[in-house]
Amino acid sequence: MKYDVIIVGGGAAGSVLASRLVEDPGTSVLLLEAGKDYPDPDNLPDEIKFGGTRYAESPDSEHNWALRGTITEEQGEIHVAQGKVIGGGSSINGQAMQRGLPEDFDDWASRGNTEWSYDKVLPFYRKMEKDLDIQDDFHGTDGPIPVRRRQSGDPSPIQQAFHDACLADGYSFVEDTNGANPTGVGVAPTNNLGGVRMSSALAHLSPMRHRLNLTVRGEVYVQKVLFEDRKAVGVEAVSGGETFQVFADRVVLCSGAIRSPQLLMLSGIGPRDQLEQFGIPVLQEAPGVGQSLWNHLSAHINYKVKDGVTMDPNLDGAHFSLHYTSDGSEETNDMLLRTNTVVDEREERVRGVRTRYNTADVPPERSARMSCTLGRPKGSGYVQLASADPSVQPTFNYRYLQHPDDMRRVREGIRFGARLLETEAYKDVMDYRITPTDEVLNNDDALDLYIRQTVGTARHVSGTCKMGPDSDPMTVVDQQCRVKGVENLFVADASVVPHIPRSGGLHPTALMIGERVLEWVTAA
């Protein structure tokens, strides 16, 4: 059978795009997902279903690719979680629904992507959401993804202390961090409803599964795109130990910013030297494939919570975040601070979770952390082939903190967070700071080393197939997300972003990309 569209990857963007395409009964869609498919929402495993669990991010989870990647030279290779299940990252993530800022998308437009200005993308953010708190021109009320800011119950003591410390430092409370100006401390929006993680698989895909023009196949590993001359005509995939070829008029890669560039390179599209190194015939030389790897980083302050202060993770209160501008920054709200417990104690939902945060001799259940996120990094990394064998993961390096301004801003952010911890707001909550110590905190070189040794990744991987005009030789797709130099092949996921949004999140932007690209895939 030949399909109208094959979508490779049932993650956030892929599930959205598939659900929208099949609204037209005349369009047949095959959605291929390498991980497991769960067509019955009632039979979702707890680690996918419940938003409080982080076990699915564990390297032991079957729903995680458990990749190995480099973030700094000091740490070497570390485990990097990537969703390997229907819904992709939206099925295992922290459910942050923080959009990019208007300035982010106007920056995209200034780079030659005029179809991605804030005015152009806002309708698609609104289309994909059902905001349960705010009804105005910035928010949707009829979309599939529920968005909420407040859960039932009061904030936990560590959240309340963070909120109060930010206000005491002169920041205002902001009702809507997804509005025109998120500066200040506000409640982080999430897509959790009644404790359930409302992934794109649940919210977008499930209501459309009854349609006869939609076929979803899990545990199918796509190895490459098939071409006739320079036209994409299908994919080669492995399922149940057998290799198949499946054909379509259009192919859309929605496999994420690690796998999508790998698939392009395995299909002969990418840097010539890498393709020739592994004996892959060059169909289209594209030096930008795998380059411009963006990701938010988070550096942490760990502190002991006083005995008697509840650390109960079941408190269903608000989680706060602070958007602020670093000293001397040319871009507003380039930084983010937030606080949380080190581990989730719900053992029945988080089997085998291990904390990587240094809490010294303090039990994790009495430890909390403040996280400083660099929302607008200047340095980027890369993805490269490690083999012509599709089952071998590509190598990738985020190259965190190699730009001196990135290091400066994170260093200042850690000191800012440490100062907040010493305020009156924390006197009944914090016992003492665990790391960094005063000796480290007060020495630039020592603090920089501490940050490089302990910094973590937010897993907001993006940019490796970036969009843009032909005047930029490192662009891979045009602003309609069509792969340059070939026909009928698209990339529609976070890998197309020209620069990572500074929000501290990427999930809603991936959903928006799935909505935005619909008209161009349909018209092809």
Active site residues: 460
Give the three-class secondary structure for 26: coil
Token pair 């819904």: residue: 87
- Cα-trace Rg, the chain: 22
Q: 412 near 425, Cβ under 8 Å?
A: no
Residue 485: both structure tokens together: 């130099």
Choose among 234, 295, 273, 246: nearest CA to 455: 295
Show the DSSP H helices in 387-506 as ranges: 404-421, 438-441, 444-454
Contact status, residue 466 vs residue 211, Cβ threshold 8 Å: no
Contact 94/110 with Cβ under 8 angstroms? no
Long-range contacts of 346-350 (CB under 8 A, 24+ apart): 346/52, 346/53, 346/313, 346/314, 348/46, 349/46, 349/47, 349/50, 349/52, 349/53, 349/55, 350/47, 350/53, 350/54, 350/55
Sign of CA dihedral 128, 132, 137, 139: negative
Count CB-CB contacts under 10 A for residue 124.
21
Identity at 448, one-letter amino acid code: D
